[in-house]
Chains A and B, each alone.
Chain A
């Protein structure tokens, strides 16, 4: 493990009603790492991230961020965190300028500084023309860019990116990937969850695979390959989640589509 631990999860369990979502997660993350956090739908990825951000409560176990237990009621650790949520939900009656200035200020930036920085970052994404337009008129990709900007405005040390590339075009994906690498070089820690295995494989220093609320694999891509699993991350993912029925499922699926009467 390199550098000081930024984040430490100890035996985290969480359930919604009767449904146990996390079954004892243990994880330690050091400075300057890019963690690829992967797992099938419903494995508990977003829940873990939301717990660490304090968006949901009621877990058991211990979460330490920047060396402090987040349950002790001290909110200040959030100042050093940036977050891009999985669903691009934002108060979209506001213009990009208004929303970004607002979030920047909430993280303690001065207003002028927040607005200036937001504009410059929008400019880098080629969105300066839309700076004063309402977010309702933004496309999925544009919203995603606004969210990415809002997560880094305050120069955080720890970033939680939940599916940050969704809706972005190929060129923007390249840019964001490059940005992530640069941020890690600067000593920032990036906690990155995604379903796009190619990207995770390429950018992550370390990959954590979550299945049914448990960490089943943890290590660099090379380490995962050495554990006797071969091929791409996608193939490793399929193996480790015990999934090999794609061909049968696809065949049956199309059969059902073809069944029944034909609509004109």
Chain B
């Protein structure tokens, strides 16, 4: 037997769509050694998931099909196998866990019956034997009371526990390869760390190779031995993790790494990749990164780059490293190098507080019984105190369900709090009636997480941006209002002609810009950013963070930045408040919190965050040339 658990050669998986053939995976080759973790990393829409579905032979039919290539499991090609033989491999030799543990388990069957299934199917065990093994697996994945859990339905478990169950199912037959498709993206960061630790442990014990699919570079750094960076259906760079992070070569990899927000780059704008990943039906000719690449050369778009082998098995598909290409005329750089981005001066730390929150509570009644009497309260926000200064950013961090979003909405009175006071530049908002509150609404605004549900799909962009001015400043004449809308849309980096279009024509990043423009139009002093960049890919996230920072600088706006992403916090926040179970457990400046955390929860949280270590990160790409 070779030491390779899986080898993929020239895999092409295409989809027939109404707008043409989508070449989701277009000639991908890599191999995974026994017992190692191999990471496939890239932004959404790059073909990572389709690659993994191809490996387990579950490409959604009939639209999708494997057009070409070989997938060798233990040296044997599985593409050419009969369906019955493929079934014998699935769940047995190759198994898979998915991003959403909540929906990946069948809600109407017990946990036990779902684990027993592959054991009985592949190992020919009796029901009683399978039950024994299943309970053993549940114990092994660290679930309490496995015997009791066996007969429980999935909905009673938390997301983290469900993912443990999924791992138990996947590893029940001790497969050679476990495919983990964004296994922790839907989970809180502390749970994420636990799940990854568990996978590592089981990998050591069972010798399973893991194919980890993720968009999170830091996760790769922490967990994988080998890594392949995927872009637009192709692998652009592959190397051992150490090599890749020490010396990334492909401009895409470099730009991705530079776009990650963190403490070290907080005093300058993040490097961004212009535009977004093109749709799979419409990949550019030649190098697929052409058009977005900061180091594009004249001939890049004309010829497809070939993989170049550098030291230590480091493979990169980029013309920059192709000596043959570099010696031709086509290597004339398109962009002038080294245009250093203008520095942002740190916002003035004025000591005058803009917003003062005291004892804020939001309780939701729980009703039960024949007459729906109130039997208790769900204390979503249970007494928090905050101050936010003019022109500065306070980050509110915490896991999902900690009440941070409710708190944010209660502060701007979008949800009326149960008790507590919110003082906004001297006025107590919590004492005002709905009508009295209206004048303050232009001062306190909110940007939402989901760029898809935050814009009314039936309204034109112009109408969307105009709505706030119309409602809050009806005294402004129409002509001025339209002028304001035009100014605003240009301020967020979009063009005037987009005003007459509808939201579905825009990408996630553009929509988030529109969401910012809508808020900006009413000239607020304080904006709640509710996970405003969480749904975006790293490169787009960087664009939006830059925009938010420059707006803050220009207009002196204060932000309450609600997020679970500590990298974003490090980059953008001046002060941090950590929320846990409806309360704020720790407050301080960003340096205090990150350097000397005091509360236990803060420490756990900080330890759980995967990071790329300083010092090893010297990727400027220049040295390779």
A, B bound: no
Which A residues are closer than 8 A to B by beta carbons? Answer: none
Chain B residues within 8 Å of A, Cβ to Cβ: none
